[in-house]
Amino acid sequence: MEELLALLDRYAPGYRGRIQGVYGWRLDELEERFGRPCPGFYRSFALAMGAEGGPLLDGLHEHHPTKIAELYELAPWMPPRRFLYVFGDASPDGQHTFLDLDAPSEAGDFQVVRFPFGEQTWKTRLTRRFVSLREMLFVLAMRNVHLPTFPHRAEHLSADGPAGAPPSAEDAAVVFERLGFTRLPYPRRCLLFERQDAAILLYRRPDEPGFSIRVGMRDAAKLRSFQAIVEDSAGLTEWRGAASVDTGSAEGR
C-alpha cells in the first residue's frame, strides 16, 4: 500500500489526510461472516482506506467491511464463498466487484471480477477486469486522481491491424516512450505513463488481447499531434463516445 499511497500523494499532495482506514476487528468480523480469511492485500487496503478512500474510489459503493459483513449475514443472493465482495455498483445493472479467490495473482492478491447479484450469475455474466486488486487501485489512481487534472483528454481503442491482427500494448508502449513518456514500473498488465505535461492510462483485461488508452495533456495542440501519431503508428482508433469531461469508462465496456 505504501507505493500506492506515495503515488496518490504525488498526484494530489496531502492525499493521505483525506482517507481513513478501519480497525482490524472490523476485518475479523467480516471474516467471521464470510467464512474465509481475507486476502492479505485486501486487508492492507481496508486498514488504509476501507472507511474513506477519497477520489480514488469515486463511483464505488458499499466498500466498508462492516457493510460487506452485513451483506454476507443477511443477503440470500450472495455468490459462493469463492468470491469476496469488495465494491458495490449503484447503476441499474448492478455489476458488483469481487475478488475471485480461485484465481490468485500476486502474493496475497487475486483477480478482480464483476457480475450482478442473481442466481448463477457468476457462471453466466462474470467478466474479468483486473489481474489483482492492487493493479485496479493503481489504475484508479491514474483515472480518478491524476488524469482529471489535465484540461484536454481523449480515449482510443486498439483496432485491427494488417490481416486483422490487433496492435499489441507493448508496441504502443514503445511509441509512447519515443514521444517522451516514462512508463511506471507498476502495474504490469495495465500500463501507466507520465510526461511532465501529460499522462496515459493503458487498460487491458486479464483475458483479452485488446486494450484502450486514456490520455490527458495540458496543451490541446499537442494532444491532437499525439492522437495523429498513435492512430498512424500504434493502430489506435479514437473512441467517439468519450466526453471531454471523461465521463465514459473504457474499463467498463
Q: What's the length of the chain?
A: 253
pTM of the full structure = 0.92
Question: What is d(CA 47, CA 21) in angstroms, rounded to the nearest whole number?
Answer: 4
Q: What is the pLDDT of residue 247?
A: 28
Residue 253 pLDDT exceeds 70: no
Residue 152 pLDDT exceeds 60: yes
The per-residue pLDDT for range 68-82, each reduced to its tens digit, is 999 999 887 789 999
Residue 104 pLDDT exceeds 70: yes
Percent of the chain with pLDDT over 90: 79
Residue 163 pLDDT exceeds 60: no
Q: What is the pLDDT of residue 77?
A: 79
